[in-house]
């Protein structure tokens, strides 16, 4: 079979690729003598010169870090101290739940305010009402149970004028470390002794017996013996406070603050000086002291001018 021969297409049917147009030629020799404007000047820098890192990258000066608030220590029976006795009277700081409740018309009861504060406390040091309860209720507060939630305010006689000497050394004692030091197993005799001291402390508050309050708070047989060795000089500080006339001395919550109880403001300065000296001589630690009086009122609204 013979193959047919393809005939060439006519010129008008052939595909023709367009040729690219040549780039236009610019005559730059005519622009050589035109004046060129100078670059704009930058305004001079105000303030300190920025810091330099690799190459010519600039960065801002680091902002100073704000110190984190230190969580207050905790106990099962807490008292709410007021402003230092040596300072002029001034409104005490309000806990956030009370201030927020005042902004919304004071709709919550005091127990509800404590529960609201517990949610914030849980994120810092656990679900413990021994910090927020006396701060809101004032005075001595006994935390009986959490489920159901039950607080027992202890009304002490008005004649009871307790003062507290709080001495804080320059020493960090994390709450987690102090809690880990607590014994897992407790002897029956130690448990009986602490239960007796707790009952005596409640009775002393109700009767207004300042001497029994100091003696009961200084007779811990479980917590203080395990935490005191972790705070340098704590044993010497307690002995110095008792020798100076304090009614009792122990660790405030998890530490490292030491708290002493006195029945008059006149003894506060001497007891504080002895405790500060003991921290320095026995533990090689600097310390600061504060003398505070028992606050019976708790959190309260001082002024409503800013709320309207």
Pairing relationship of beta strands 163-169 and 258-262 according to DSSP bridges: antiparallel
pLDDT digit string (tens) for 143-187?
Answer: 888 888 889 999 889 888 899 999 999 988 877 788 888 888 999
How large a percentage of the chain has pLDDT more than 90? 36
Question: So what's the pLDDT on residue 191?
Answer: 92
Distance of CA 304 to the CA centre of its chain: 27
The single-letter DSSP state of residue 12 is G
Collapsed DSSP state (helix, strand, coil) of residue 221: coil
Active site residue 75: no
Across the chain, mean pLDDT equals 76
pTM of the predicted structure, to 2 decimals: 0.63
**Highest mean predicted confidence (pLDDT) among 78-82, 114-118, 223-227, 293-297:** 223-227
Spatial separation of the C-alpha atoms in residues 186 and 182, rounded to whole Å: 10
Nearest to 174 by CA among 80, 68, 249, 76: 68
* Angle ∠(116,175,180) on CA atoms, nearest 5: 120
Question: So what's the pLDDT on residue 93?
Answer: 44
Q: Is the pLDDT of residue 63 over 70?
A: no
Q: Is the pLDDT of residue 262 over 90?
A: yes
| Chain position carrying tokens 């009122």 | 297
Tokens (6 digits) for 223: 């917590």
Active site residue 70: no
Domains observed in the chain: 77-302 (3.30.70.890)
pLDDT digit string (tens) for 225-255?
Answer: 999 999 999 999 999 999 999 999 999 988 8
Spatial separation of the C-alpha atoms in residues 60 and 269, rounded to whole Å: 47
For residue 280, CA distances in Å to 26, 169, 236, 251 come to 88, 9, 10, 17
Instruction: Annotate 262-278 with DSSP letters as a single string.
Output: ESSGGGHHHHHHHHHHH
Distance of CA 225 to the CA centre of its chain: 26
Q: Out of 75, 119, 172, 175, which one is annotated catalytic?
A: 175
Q: Out of 75, 121, 168, 257, which one is annotated catalytic?
A: 121
Q: Is the pLDDT of residue 129 over 60?
A: yes
pLDDT digit string (tens) for 75-86?
Answer: 345 555 554 443
Segment holding 47, helix H or strand E: none
SS3 content of the chain, % helix, strand, coil (to 5): 35, 15, 50
pLDDT class of 33 with cuts at 50, 70, 90: low
Mean pLDDT computed over 285-304: 87
Mean pLDDT computed over 111-136: 81
């Amino acid at each position: 079979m013979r193959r047919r021969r393809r005939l060439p297409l006519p010129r008008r049917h052939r595909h023709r690729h367009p040729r690219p147009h040549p780039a236009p030629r610019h005559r730059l020799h005519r622009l050589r003598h035109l004046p060129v404007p100078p670059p704009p000047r930058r305004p001079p820098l105000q303030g300190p010169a920025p810091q330099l890192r690799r190459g010519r990258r600039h960065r801002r000066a680091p902002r100073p870090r704000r110190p984190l608030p230190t969580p207050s220590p905790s106990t099962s029976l807490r008292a709410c101290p007021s402003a230092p006795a040596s300072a002029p009277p001034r409104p005490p700081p309000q806990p956030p739940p009370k201030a927020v409740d005042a902004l919304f018309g004071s709709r919550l009861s005091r127990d509800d305010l404590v529960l609201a504060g517990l949610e914030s406390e849980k994120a810092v040091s656990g679900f413990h009402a021994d910090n927020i309860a006396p701060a809101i209720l004032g005075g001595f507060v006994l935390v009986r149970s959490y489920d159901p939630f039950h607080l027992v305010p202890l009304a002490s006689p008005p004649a009871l004028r307790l003062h507290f000497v709080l001495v804080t050394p320059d020493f960090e004692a994390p709450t987690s470390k102090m809690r880990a030091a607590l014994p897992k197993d407790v002897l029956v005799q130690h448990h009986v002794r602490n239960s007796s001291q707790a009952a005596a402390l409640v009775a002393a508050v109700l009767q207004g017996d300042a001497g029994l309050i100091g003696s009961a708070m200084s007779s811990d047989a479980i917590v203080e013996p395990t935490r005191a060795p972790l705070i340098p000089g704590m044993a010497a500080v307690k002995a110095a406070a008792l020798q100076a006339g304090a009614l009792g001395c122990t660790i405030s919550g998890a530490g490292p603050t030491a708290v002493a109880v006195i029945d008059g403001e006149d003894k506060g300065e001497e007891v504080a000086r002895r405790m500060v000296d003991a921290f320095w001589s026995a533990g090689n630690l600097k310390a600061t002291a504060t003398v505070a009086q028992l606050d019976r009122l708790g959190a309260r609204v001082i002024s409503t001018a800013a709320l309207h």
